């Protein structure tokens, strides 16, 4: 079987990937809502296929500071995933969780960073559990790693990961919230042979 890359996805693959994104993000938002004790609304996620080298400016200007949470994924499939937020959303979530009032441009302290890691952890785990139950595969996340830095620098990680196999990358944008809408972005990065496993477990032959 020819190795699957995002360079030749057809509409059907896109639909499947969109659906995984949808259910995964829905799951993640439900966990988040219970965590911050707020009834959250959610918009249908947007799934965007783009050139990997354009990822750096896909969320915001390349030198804007964002929060990136990174986890490795192992077991039946291997790879990694990221959850990304702009600073205003990250501050809002931290404040809700910890009862603080941090300024939009304040740097995060150790406690706040660890709260953000936990948010990322819960969001990623619920996303992966959706993928896992859809595909009947065991998918386990590692501990979360966090970086607060320029968007292009953080996004160079998935850009390189996708860039190893092809020229395209897949970005899932979610919007959720109540009083204030929050934007979060998911990037799932399976290793080359794991795409085929995901798709064939869903009954799609390449």
Partner 1 sequence: MGEIIKVGMADLKIGRAPDTLTTLGLGSCIGLTLYDPAAKIGGLVHYMLPDSTKLKNNTNIAKFGDTGIRELLRLILEAGATKRKLVAKIAGGASMFEMSGLSSIGSVGERNAEAAKQLLKELQIPLIAEDTGLNYGRTVELNCENGDFLIKSVGRGSKVI
Instruction: Give CA–CA dist 135/112, Å, rounded.
Output: 34
Tell me, residue by residue from 53 to 82, as one string, x for binding to partner 1 by CB under 8 A and - for no binding: xxxx----xxx-x--x-x-x-x---xxx--
| Burial zone of 134 (CB within 10 Å; 0-12 exposed, 13-18 middle, 19+ buried) | middle
* Residue 154 CB, nearest approach to partner 1 (Å): 6
User: Which CB atom, from 119 or from 154, has the smaller least distance to partner 1?
Assistant: 154
User: Which CB atom, from 81 or from 115, has the smaller least distance to partner 1?
Assistant: 81
* Residue 90 CB, nearest approach to partner 1 (Å): 14
For 60, other C-beta atoms within 10 Å of its C-beta total 18
* 5 makes contact with partner 1 (CB under 8 A): yes
Among 9, 58, 128, 152, binds partner 1 (CB under 8 A): 152
| Burial zone of 4 (CB within 10 Å; 0-12 exposed, 13-18 middle, 19+ buried) | buried
* Residue 78 CB, nearest approach to partner 1 (Å): 7
* Residue 95 CB, nearest approach to partner 1 (Å): 21
User: Which CB atom, from 147 or from 202, has the smaller least distance to partner 1?
Assistant: 147
* Residue 202 CB, nearest approach to partner 1 (Å): 24
User: 145 by DSSP, 3-state: which?
Assistant: strand
* Residue 177 CB, nearest approach to partner 1 (Å): 26
* Cα torsion angle, 71, 164, 86, 18, sign: negative
Q: Which long-range contacts (CB under 8 A, 24 or more apart) does 59-62 make?
A: 59/84, 59/86, 59/151, 59/155, 59/171, 59/185, 60/86, 60/151, 61/151, 62/150, 62/151, 62/152
- Considering only residues 89-118, where is the footprint of partner 1 by CB under 8 A? 107
Q: Are 157 and 70 in contact (CB under 8 A)?
A: yes
* Of 170, 184, 189, 183, nearest in space to 52 by CA: 170
User: Which CB atom, from 62 or from 118, has the smaller least distance to partner 1?
Assistant: 62
* Binding interface with partner 1 (CB under 8 A): 5, 7, 52-56, 61-63, 65, 68, 70, 72, 74, 78-80, 107, 142, 145-157, 159-161, 163-167, 191
């Amino acid at each position: 079987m020819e190795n699957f890359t995002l360079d030749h996805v057809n509409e059907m693959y896109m639909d499947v990937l969109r659906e995984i994104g949808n259910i995964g993000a829905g799951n993640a938002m439900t966990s988040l809502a219970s965590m911050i004790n707020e009834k959250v609304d959610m918009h249908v996620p947007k799934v965007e296929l783009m050139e990997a080298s354009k990822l750096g400016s896909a969320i915001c200007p390349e030198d804007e500071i964002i929060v990136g949470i990174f986890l490795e994924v192992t077991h039946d499939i291997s790879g990694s995933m990221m959850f990304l937020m702009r600073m205003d959303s990250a501050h809002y979530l931290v404040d809700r969780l910890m009862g603080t009032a941090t300024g939009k441009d304040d740097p995060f302290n150790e406690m706040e960073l660890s709260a953000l890691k936990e948010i990322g952890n819960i969001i990623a785990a619920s996303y992966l559990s959706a993928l896992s139950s859809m595909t009947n595969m065991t998918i386990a996340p590692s501990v979360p790693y966090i970086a607060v830095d320029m968007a292009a620098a953080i996004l160079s990680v998935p850009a390189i990961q996708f860039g190893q196999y092809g020229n395209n990358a897949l970005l899932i944008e979610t919007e959720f919230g109540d009083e204030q809408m929050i934007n979060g972005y998911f990037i799932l990065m399976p290793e080359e042979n794991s795409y085929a496993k995901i798709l064939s477990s869903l009954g799609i032959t390449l």
